[in-house]
Amino acid sequence: MKPSPVFSPDDYDSHGVLRLPLWFWGVLILQARTWLLFVMAGASRQQGESMLALFYPDTQRFWYGIALGLPAALAFLLSGRRAQWPRLWRAWRWVLLFSLLAALGGSLAGVWRQEDGAPLLDGVLALLDALALGYLLFNRRVRACFSDSAQL
């Protein structure tokens, strides 16, 4: 594949496929934060339950986070198989965007329901979700990685 003049030759791997940007992986980690916490709680057997109770005192929010983190967890797996499932990969950007939009809505609803002032963590997570949503929507390299012109 001939590299596009828009991106540097360093942005391509040895097969000529556009690499995913480093910040994209950060967005996936942000989206899969409940999964990450769940794995860390499982690894620390004695403190696992108290760790989950600290971050998710409401079990409904925990399961909501698990459900919204599932597309990001699957994106980690799909990223290595972009050539095998190109149509699924192209559609997965929209799945990630809708998941982030739902997470942002949940974060904003959590901030809205706080009566004695919003906790700092909920506000920071809402801000990070909004920034991640903008990154997935407007970053040219991310859009190119998910586009048909990437010639996977």
Query: For 65-120, how does the pLDDT look when each residue is reduced to its tens digit (9 = 90+)?
Result: 999 999 999 999 999 888 899 999 999 999 999 999 999 998 888 788 775 555 77
Alpha-carbon gap, residue 90 to 94, rounded angstroms: 8
Rg value, the chain, Cα? 18
Closest CA to 51 of 60, 39, 63, 61: 39
Q: Does residue 62 carry a pLDDT above 60?
A: yes
Is 102 buried (19+), middle (13-18) or exposed (0-12) by CB count in 10 A? middle
> What tokens were used for 84?
């095998």
Task: Report CA-CA distances (Å) from 116 to 111, 112, 113.
Answer: 10, 10, 9
- What does pLDDT average to over the chain? 87
Asked whether 76 and 28 are in contact (CB, 8 A), the reply is yes
Determine the average pLDDT of the residues in 8-22: 86
Displacement of CA 152 from its chain's centroid (Å): 22
Residue 122's pLDDT band (cuts 50, 70, 90): confident
Give the domain ranges of the chain.
19-150
Determine the average pLDDT of the residues in 11-20: 86
Alpha-carbon gap, residue 82 to 75, rounded angstroms: 10
